[in-house]
Structure 1
Amino acid sequence: MYKTLLVFDNYDLLEEIKKLSIWGDSSEFEITDVVSDGVSAYRKIRENRYDLVITEIRIMGIDGLQLLRNVKKEGICSHIVLCSEFEDFNYARQGIILGAYDYFVKPFDETLFFSMFNRIKNETFGGEATGIYYAEEVMNYFERRDTGIYDYISNMIEEVYNTGEDILKADKKVRSICKAVIDDVFNHNDWLDLYIVQEDFYSFDGINERNQNSYKKRYKDIICNLFDEYCELFPNCNNSKIYEVIQYILNNPENNLKQKDIATELYINSSYLSTVFPAQTGIRFVDYLTTVKLKRAVWLLKETNMKITDIAERLDYKDIGYFSRLFKNKYKLPPSAYRLSDGDDYQI
């Protein structure tokens, strides 16, 4: 359902709007909240994400036109509709100048409301279609482990922001692309949950005209960081046996992962594995094992209360000092300090 906020000081006018046969399944729009003054409305809009705001012009606090002006300036809602009990050309003209999405006057015509709802839905659908295209293109870069993704993400974000849409709509589209990519990567690689918490990507505190450039960089960093993690854990290879080895390691980071034991488990010649693995991936087998185990250690440090000695033992490191040196060499902090730090900051 599309969320709608109604802002009406006139009780009779509010009831007339609410009684129209335009809400619910027939339109997919629902009345989510109702307030009677401009100050409360402004606060609600800043705290929530509404698809549509219908506001009476003459309301207490700040009037409908000032509310429209404030909301459009901050880019926090794309669809602000003005409503009045009496037709007033000056109000309508000011609303158009300020960027009102529509203007309704009594007696209300339900067909006009349905027409407006369809315009909003068509805009959303168009945004989703574009988002799907971009997300699929980004996923192709993941599949190829193609470092051209860094430039592609930058260009994609600029294209979306330069379509002429307001900040909120552009930002919503970019976020939907990021979320689609993140969801696809995790959905197609179940093992990734052993190393990264997917939900860590989805924190968001809002964009406006003042911070949009920092958020452009933020979105790029999120996808590119995920790409880097993905490529380090899942190096590209064209050999089915090596692919099988990689999948086995990624899905069993706490198993006995000695080269000879893996070779035996997967019916591969150990000498073949030691020779072909680096030729296919560009990484020595022992170095790859260390990378996977340390990334699993990071997850255990952040997501559990396990003692560091227990984590080391669980990952088959008998010497805690050796484990700590390996960890510090990769992450620049010993395990105990890393646990207290922010670690990798993925959130959008």
Structure 2
Amino acid sequence: MEKILLVDDERWVRTALKWSINKLNLPLQVVHECKNGLEALDWIKHHDVDLVLTDIRMPIMDGLMFVKELEALKEKPDVIVISVHDEFQFVQKALRSGVIDYLLKPVEDDDLKICLDKWLDKRKQVIEQNDPPRYKEELDSSTIERVLAYIEKTPLSQITLKDVAKNVHMNPSYLSQLFKQQLNKKFVDHITELRIEESKRLLLSTSLRLSEIADRVGYSDLAYFSNNFKKIAGCSPSEFRKSRAGDPLVKSKY
């Protein structure tokens, strides 16, 4: 996850930006917020951060002076400035000072996503050029972590390879290969295992009909669900429910 610092004197602006960034589902994390450039400068001197989103007009130390002061640091983060329409002359100064991009208030989600996507792409290229093997390994590992996190929070009935690939900005075919390489199992097999495990829990802890359980875990065809269940569990769903229903140890597991 790339680390972001938000700098704006208005708390509601910082809150809105953080909420918008989290909603984009990008490999980014807002790690801190500051009210002005001086506070941000002091914080950066003692913490690692990859990207700063800063307002231009702020008390104590404005965005332009903040950007100028960052130049003195040995390792400085990338900066995106945020301004209103009538401040473009200040944006031009900021860009000449090394700022990589700018956003206009009020910041729209689409504009924010385009801006952050562009920054992520540039950062990937730079890191990959500096250390290609290690970067690829870290990127692959990070991608799979995001895939597993997405699967965990998404209802099993709604999970498809295409949707997961879209969520992590990757080609479905390549993601399928990467999943097999990283976890030593196919994506479809992993999802099937999760669906059968969840169906076991529902068989033992609810009175739902088999068709309802099948639909809940992502099977529209009851026969197909039963066949997959039998392949993994060694018995049919109804046999599983009947043979395990009276076992308190099994019930406690699910």
TM-score band w.r.t. shorter chain: 0.3 to 0.5
Q: Which has the higher Rg, Structure 1 or Structure 2? A: 1
Give TM-score, length-normalised by structure 1.
Answer: 0.35
Give TM-score, length-normalised by structure 2.
Answer: 0.47
